[in-house]
Amino acid sequence: MTRTWWKEAVIYQIYPRSFMDSNGDGIGDLPGIISRLDYLAHLGVDVLWLSPIFQSPNDDNGYDISDYEAIMAEFGTMADFERLLAEAHKRGLKVLLDIVVNHSSDEHPWFRQSRSSKDNPLRDFYFWQPAPPNNWKSFFGGSAWQHDPATGAYYLHLFSRKQPDLNWENPRLRREIYRMMRFWLDKGVDGFRLDVIPLISKRTDWPDAYEDDFLRTVYEIYANGPRVHEYLQEMHREVFARYDMMALGEGIGVTPANCLDYVGEDRRELHVLYHFDHMFLNFGAGGRFDPVPWKLTDFKAVFRRWDEAIGEEGWINIVLDNHDFPRMVSRFGNDGPWREASAKLLATLLLTMRGTPCIYQGSELGMTNARWHRLDELRDIEARNAWAEWQANGRNDVQAFLEAASVNGRDNARTPMQWTDAPHAGFTTGMPWIKVNENYPEVNARKAMADADSVFHYYRHLMALRKAHPTLIYGSYRPLREDDEQLFAYERRDADGRYLVLLNFGEAEYPVEGLVPAEHRWLIGNYAMPTTADEPLRPWEARVLELDA
């Protein structure tokens, strides 16, 4: 297997709107990020992934781009971006931009022209139909086809009405996109995170979707379209192959069966992608606002299946949360009495699995889901639309909806970064665009940095350990006790070393007899070093041991 920087790196995802506000307007911005680069360098991450920073009317917080080559005015200027890039590079941090090319904003000049008349030269930069050709639904609720009065036709939008899907069948559109990508790479950015990239090729025979199974529709109808690999190979040739860069795909709809088609080293498509199988585990039939319990055995099986599928031939990301999902400690850990222990346990998983880890901002502090008490606290278009849909279906129980949003809503991960115990967690001197999590006096960066036992310092130690023991990066993955509902255990191994990771997903002690060989060295853990090899795992204990080869 080839060794590359993007396999060894740890990525840190910044959601710029909620990271740091420099001018008191309540919205995070690029100068705010610059002011925190020393913090990020101290944490010890290698690559920053910035959620979209391009000009946008913010129907979906920047995932609706109206100019791919301009900076969102609220975030700053191109000069600010160039300074951010230079200052990041000075500290050895690389920068990935989040490029959204499955769709644009309806305010993009391309769409303005496209919608203006049927014979406009840009008409088929988007998908127009005289009437909806199928029953497709949008990710954000309602039909995926929107009537447009200017020409009396319908356009496709898999996300919001303000996010019309781009028509990749059009070679001129593809050329424009590759040119735009080179524009950023020529400026010195180190790669891209490619939003919903498996969706760019559409089934233009327009088959019907499964009425009652949206996720199945995503996997089988929206994603992995007939020309997706042709487009990605072209993109690789026209863009990726010309730079030393990282192309990270958001792998929505990709499965273990087809993942190597995207990231197999011989394919010359993407370098790496992240998948969703464990992220959808607690989605019920009604999606994220219909949460259901998840089981550790199912969670572990996802990691095993993906590792087996990727093998030595490709590479994936390891992701436990991001701006689209609840906070990992609230979801997979325990955000009550065991918040710090379980946040560290999840950090251990994230940083000792095979794959390039993505840390989402604030997880290094053990930030938790917010509680949503009122509808008007919610900001996410997905949540607002979902509530409208509940009502349209005669469900008017506000409390039940807020309960579901508190478990699974995307706003949970979008509350401002908690820097200090000052008002608004030190994120802004003004009024934050979304409420701050109430626990900021307890959970904040200043406090964590001053406490040698904090989640923050545990992340630092783990990242240093990962660099010092490359087996934790490249070594094979062998799961143990796969049927156990409390223990997540595995070995990482190659010619250079052998490691055992033990993770107790629960409050009860877990006996380790039969798991730990007598000869071993304790490397790191979220409790004091055990005094005997057989000491049971304590509540939410994580232990990483080095074994004899």
* Options 6, 17, 18, 29; binder of Ca ion; rule CB under 5 A: 29
What does DSSP assign to residue 93?
Answer: -
Q: Indicate if the alpha-carbon torsion angle 466, 469, 474, 476 is positive or negative.
A: negative
Distance (Å, whole) CA 18 – CA 3:
34
Residue with tokens 């500290």: 91
The number of C-alpha atoms within 13 Å of 141 and in the hemisphere containing its C-beta is: 18
Distance (Å, whole) CA 500 – CA 494:
12
Residue 159 contacts ligand ISL per CB under 6 A: yes
Distance (Å, whole) CA 20 – CA 228:
37
Residue 429 contacts Ca ion per CB under 5 A: no
Q: How far is the CB of 287 from ligand ISL (least distance, A)?
A: 6
Q: How far is the CB of 360 from ligand ISL (least distance, A)?
A: 11
Catalytic residue (choose from 106, 195, 307, 411)? 195
Q: Closer to Ca ion by CB, 431 or 450: give it.
A: 431
Q: How far is the CB of 333 from ligand ISL (least distance, A)?
A: 21
What's CA 277's distance to the chain center, in Å? 13
Catalytic residue (choose from 148, 190, 250, 364)? 250
The beta-strand segments (E) located in 316-373 are 317-319, 356-360
521 phi/psi in degrees, rounded to 5: -120, 130
- Is residue 202 within 8 A of residue 127, CB to CB? The reply is yes
Q: How far is the CB of 239 from ligand ISL (least distance, A)?
A: 20
Q: How far is the CB of 61 from ligand ISL (least distance, A)?
A: 7
The number of C-alpha atoms within 13 Å of 184 and in the hemisphere containing its C-beta is: 29
* Options 123, 157, 278, 288; binder of ligand ISL; rule CB under 6 A: 288
* Options 81, 126, 139, 458; binder of ligand ISL; rule CB under 6 A: 139
541 catalytic per annotation:
no
Whole-number CA gyration radius for the chain: 23
Q: How far is the CB of 448 from Ca ion (least distance, A)?
A: 24
Residue 60 contacts ligand ISL per CB under 6 A: yes
Q: Which stretch binds Ca ion (CB under 5 A): 26-34, 329-337, 343-351, 352-360?
A: 26-34
Distance (Å, whole) CA 34 – CA 37:
5
* Options 54, 63, 111, 401; binder of ligand ISL; rule CB under 6 A: 63
Residue 27 interaction partner, one of Ca ion, ligand ISL, none, beta carbon < 5-8 Å per kind = Ca ion
Residue 252 contacts ligand ISL per CB under 6 A: yes
- Residue 335 is which amino acid? D
Q: Closer to Ca ion by CB, 58 or 151: give it.
A: 58
| Residues in region 6-25 near Ca ion by CB under 5 A | 21, 23, 25
Residue 195 contacts ligand ISL per CB under 6 A: yes
483 catalytic per annotation:
no
95: β partners: 48
Residue 29 interaction partner, one of Ca ion, ligand ISL, none, beta carbon < 5-8 Å per kind = Ca ion
**Helices (H), ranges, 428-495:** 445-450, 455-468, 471-474
Quote the tokens at residue 470: 């490359």
| Residues in region 330-359 near ligand ISL by CB under 6 A | none
Residue 72 contacts ligand ISL per CB under 6 A: no
- Is residue 339 within 8 A of residue 368, CB to CB? The reply is yes
Plot region of 16 (φ>0 → left; ψ -120 to 50 → alpha; else → beta): alpha
Distance (Å, whole) CA 350 – CA 462:
10
* Options 48, 100, 463, 487; binder of ligand ISL; rule CB under 6 A: 100
Residue 134 interaction partner, one of Ca ion, ligand ISL, none, beta carbon < 5-8 Å per kind = none
* Options 48, 196, 309, 383; binder of ligand ISL; rule CB under 6 A: 196
Q: How far is the CB of 306 from Ca ion (least distance, A)?
A: 38
What does DSSP assign to residue 73?
Answer: G
DSSP assignment string, 488-499: EEEEEEETTEEE
Residue 60 interaction partner, one of Ca ion, ligand ISL, none, beta carbon < 5-8 Å per kind = ligand ISL
- Is residue 436 within 8 A of residue 345, CB to CB? The reply is no
Interface with Ca ion (CB under 5 A)? 21, 23, 25, 27, 29
Residues of the shown chain interacting with ligand ISL in the complex, contacts defined by CB under 6 A: 60, 63, 100, 139, 159, 195-196, 250, 252, 288, 323-324, 382, 410
Q: Tell me which residues are annotated as active site.
A: 195, 250
